[in-house]
Chain A
């Protein structure tokens, strides 16, 4: 009994039992479906063992979309609970768990993989490379992220969810106040996913620095690649800090150390500092690639090269440096003194300057452009005003004296959602729509896409603007209910409507995917948007080796200048191409990491030792293995290139 007791959820309720059943049924359905359609072999050969950056990108994309719905369900539950005063839909404990998992899932398991999806798919194509620098490591990164996400998600039905907020501040997250295994899940699943992210950072930095096509100097790189490079530099410097913080937190909880305790010298503020030394740069890891996407989309559909390329690059470099100097704005009110507050206030507000530069560059690009409003462009155009609302309120929060008023109110929640949804989520949806034809060989329906974009934009305003007002009136965040007399009721009702609208928008996007999969024309060219950068210069669907001949680059917008100025991109004959082999080891290692994490969460030490040995065995196997990849012969290339062209019709 004791054994089962450990894995039981501490605060069960019908919704949790329902999800248990749902998870069970889904797993059975997937297993049955794969068996019935005899797809196990296909799944294993083509996906689970793949090291192809394009497929890894697509797997990131699917995971991100799934997590968007998990996090979205949490969001809807929160909004439903808050919609009317004194609501009893959720109890306080359940509300705590939901806002915690919502935050973690959205930031780490939705936005991050979304970025990784686009980066994986686009960057090697955009720089004319055959793959990333370390394809195997890339697969391992994905599986670590994926297993981390799965581990986090099972907390809901096995042992209990974390409930100390996505920031997991100590001493609240310590053993004394968080007795369930929830916070163990938090520490360990983020650790596993974080290691994967760090390896991605190293991999993509190497790729971008070393594997660009001949002629593509740093200052001729497309803007998305630039943004990816800088985001990866931030990853390499920020994630080790998180690794250490999470390790310390885990040790406090499992080994009785005194890093963040309130006795024996422990210091809870150390957690807050370490967390945000990672946490603030993390925001820029998300937003810079999003800016990169907007740059590509805006210059493509304004039919104009990006205004102020150099200042775009410079502003990103400055933002990346500043992002490490502002972390303490997250605890202005926690007693760090006026001097520290002033310094962090100034550095915080300074970030608005390079960000403003970027906004003006986009506006100038649009100014003289021949604008064509496609779905990706619509997201970009809606992003500018909405993001500006989020940005301006951010500067308000950055004034430390004023922050005493806003701190921990819904004003803050409204601010960062107005930044992160138009900034990151819109960009990812724009990127999704923009790159969809390259990924899957058909376009998403424009009518449905635009309708969804409008619904999402209007709903964002409806969902979050009211929170600015209720926040200024004093509605605290992370409170599961409030009294009638506060007058917050109507604001929150509007916000619920907005949240439902957002949900409807996302469902419409899924419907669009379904609809277009069924009805969209497969007869599209490899460059359906009439775009400007290299990824559109290869076939659709993209062959495994990306480019049959390595392109020669002479300008920033290589493809555009090939189309308009007659630059020749592909010179020379086909030569045999070296490609890495698929491997099951990254997936197996991911699974072992999952077991390791689970064993750690429940402190099952024999299993921890066993799986640790398993992990090292995988590494040793890799070290001794002789795997030199394989070659694609000239005949094979000719055949692939021939059929691709035929498949796509004359092009």
Chain B
């Protein structure tokens, strides 16, 4: 394995560069996935059948908490990558841990929000609107959940093996994923919640 020391660790081998590009292309596919969900959401948003509309069920407080928590976590994963570039493993792992904790916090709020929706009669089977709403939110939430476990396994590897081209590459790719989830959330926040509450 040839290592190019003039580049940051995550780009330092041929294989690593391939992986980063491959992941960007994967994110392109993810954009299409969420774009399709959004397009379907806009198509179905007013088709509430006998169920409630968005304005009737959305609540601003949990959504604001989710937003703040997730935005902060995107910031802390950035700090983790920064610490990684400086070669500070301890700081990196700490920021990584904070990121995952915030992610878990986000999930906790989101789950309680879902329970609440089901409770007030806006379950996934209620109408086309609730079906697409919960599917779109759920897809994002599932991504965060997956990210949580993925991040955890990367943390373990960094802790055990240190900062190698391999672990650095994984951490960096994870940070791309996490930022991406944040961007998707901003769309969800603006076009589903804010627009729905207006």
Binding site for B on A (CB under 8 A): 133-134, 198, 201-203, 205-206, 209-211, 236-241, 243-245, 247-248, 251, 255-259, 261, 263-267, 270, 274, 277, 578, 616, 620, 623-624, 628
Known contacts A620-B153, A623-B153; A210/B21 CB under 8 A: yes
Known contacts A240-B30, A258-B128, A265-B128; A251/B135 CB under 8 A: yes
Query: Which chain A residues border B44 with CB–CB below 8 Å?
Result: 259, 265, 267, 270
Query: Which chain A residues border B156 with CB–CB below 8 Å?
Result: 624
Which 4 pairs of residues, A with B, have the shortest CB-CB distance? A265-B47, A265-B128, A264-B49, A240-B32
Whether B132 sits at the interface, judged by CB under 8 Å, is yes
A-facing mask of B23-66, CB < 8 A → 1, else 0?
00110111011001100100110011111000000000000000
Known contacts A236-B25, A236-B29, A620-B153; A241/B36 CB under 8 A: yes
Cα distance A46–B115 in the bound complex, in angstroms: 51
Q: How far is the CB of A603 from chain B (nearest CB, A)?
A: 15
Q: Are A623 and B157 in contact (CB under 8 A)?
A: yes
Q: Are B128 and A241 in contact (CB under 8 A)?
A: no
Q: Are B40 and A237 in contact (CB under 8 A)?
A: no
Query: Which chain A residues border B128 with CB–CB below 8 Å?
Result: 258-259, 261, 264-267
Q: A134-B18, A251-B135, A257-B125 are in contact. List 11 more A-B contacts (CB 8 A).
A: A202-B25, A211-B18, A240-B29, A241-B36, A255-B124, A255-B125, A258-B131, A265-B127, A265-B129, A620-B153, A624-B156
Known contacts A210-B18, A240-B36, A244-B40; A198/B29 CB under 8 A: yes
Mind listing 15 A-B residue pairs with CB under 8 Å? Answer: A134-B18, A202-B26, A210-B17, A237-B28, A240-B29, A241-B32, A241-B36, A251-B131, A257-B135, A258-B49, A261-B128, A263-B49, A264-B127, A265-B49, A266-B47
Cα distance A209–B17 in the bound complex, in angstroms: 12
Whether B87 sits at the interface, judged by CB under 8 Å, is no
Q: How far is the CB of B113 from chain A (nearest CB, A)?
A: 19
Query: Which chain B residues border A206 with CB–CB below 8 Å?
Result: 18, 21-22, 25
Cα distance A23–B41 in the bound complex, in angstroms: 44
Q: Are A258 and B17 in contact (CB under 8 A)?
A: no
Query: Which chain B residues border A616 with CB–CB below 8 Å?
Result: 149
Q: How far is the CB of B139 from chain A (nearest CB, A)?
A: 9
Closest to B18 in A: A133
Q: How far is the CB of A289 from chain B (nearest CB, A)?
A: 18
Cα distance A209–B127 in the bound complex, in angstroms: 45
The A-contacting residues of B in range 99-134, CB under 8 angstroms, are: 124-129, 131-132
Cα distance A134–B129 in the bound complex, in angstroms: 40
Picked from B40, B126, B132, B153, the residue with its CB within 8 Å of the CB of A624 is B153
Q: Are A209 and B21 in contact (CB under 8 A)?
A: yes
Whether B1 sits at the interface, judged by CB under 8 Å, is yes
Q: Are B29 and A259 in contact (CB under 8 A)?
A: no
Cα distance A240–B39 in the bound complex, in angstroms: 13
Closest to B146 in A: A616
Cα distance A236–B29 in the bound complex, in angstroms: 5
Query: Which chain A residues border B40 with CB–CB below 8 Å?
Result: 244, 248, 259, 270, 274
Query: Which chain A residues border B48 with CB–CB below 8 Å?
Result: 265
Cα distance A255–B138 in the bound complex, in angstroms: 14
Cα distance A587–B17 in the bound complex, in angstroms: 26
Query: Which chain A residues border B124 with CB–CB below 8 Å?
Result: 251, 255-257
Q: Are A267 and B47 in contact (CB under 8 A)?
A: yes
Q: How far is the CB of A199 from chain B (nearest CB, A)?
A: 9
Query: Which chain A residues border B19 with CB–CB below 8 Å?
Result: 134
Q: Are A133 and B153 in contact (CB under 8 A)?
A: no
Cα distance A202–B50 in the bound complex, in angstroms: 42
Closest to B129 in A: A265
Q: In this complex, which of A133, A201, A257 has the most chain B Cβ atoms within 10 angstroms of its Cβ?
A: A257
Q: Are A258 and B125 in contact (CB under 8 A)?
A: yes
Q: Are B47 and A203 in contact (CB under 8 A)?
A: no
Query: Which chain A residues border B125 with CB–CB below 8 Å?
Result: 255-258
Closest to B134 in A: A257
Query: Which chain A residues border B51 with CB–CB below 8 Å?
Result: 264-265
Q: Are A244 and B22 in contact (CB under 8 A)?
A: no
Cα distance A255–B156 in the bound complex, in angstroms: 37
Query: Which chain B residues border A259 with CB–CB below 8 Å?
Result: 40, 44, 128, 131-132
Q: In this complex, which of A206, A241, A251 has the most chain B Cβ atoms within 10 angstroms of its Cβ?
A: A206
Cα distance A206–B127 in the bound complex, in angstroms: 41
Query: Which chain A residues border B170 with CB–CB below 8 Å?
Result: 623
Known contacts A259-B132, A623-B157; A134/B33 CB under 8 A: no
Closest to A245 in B: B36
Known contacts A210-B17, A258-B125; A244/B47 CB under 8 A: no
Query: Which chain B residues border A134 with CB–CB below 8 Å?
Result: 18-19, 22
Cα distance A351–B36 in the bound complex, in angstroms: 24
Q: Are B153 and A243 in contact (CB under 8 A)?
A: no
Q: Are A248 and B135 in contact (CB under 8 A)?
A: yes
Cα distance A217–B18 in the bound complex, in angstroms: 18
Q: How far is the CB of A318 from chain B (nearest CB, A)?
A: 20
Q: How far is the CB of A403 from chain B (nearest CB, A)?
A: 24
Cα distance A527–B125 in the bound complex, in angstroms: 62
Cα distance A202–B37 in the bound complex, in angstroms: 21
Closest to A578 in B: B1
Cα distance A612–B16 in the bound complex, in angstroms: 29
Q: How far is the CB of A53 from chain B (nearest CB, A)?
A: 15
Cα distance A293–B19 in the bound complex, in angstroms: 29
Q: Are A274 and B153 in contact (CB under 8 A)?
A: no
Closest to B128 in A: A265
Query: Which chain B residues border A247 with CB–CB below 8 Å?
Result: 135
Q: How far is the CB of B132 from chain A (nearest CB, A)?
A: 7
Known contacts A257-B135, A258-B131; A267/B22 CB under 8 A: no
Query: Which chain B residues border A263 with CB–CB below 8 Å?
Result: 49
Q: Are B22 and A202 in contact (CB under 8 A)?
A: yes
Cα distance A621–B1 in the bound complex, in angstroms: 22
Query: Which chain A residues border B50 with CB–CB below 8 Å?
Result: 264
Closest to B126 in A: A264
Cα distance A577–B22 in the bound complex, in angstroms: 23
Cα distance A247–B37 in the bound complex, in angstroms: 11
Cα distance A202–B28 in the bound complex, in angstroms: 9
Q: How far is the CB of B154 from chain A (nearest CB, A)?
A: 8
Q: How far is the CB of A286 from chain B (nearest CB, A)?
A: 19
Q: Are B1 and A628 in contact (CB under 8 A)?
A: yes
The A-contacting residues of B in range 120-175, CB under 8 angstroms, are: 124-129, 131-132, 135, 149-150, 153-154, 156-157, 170
Closest to A207 in B: B18
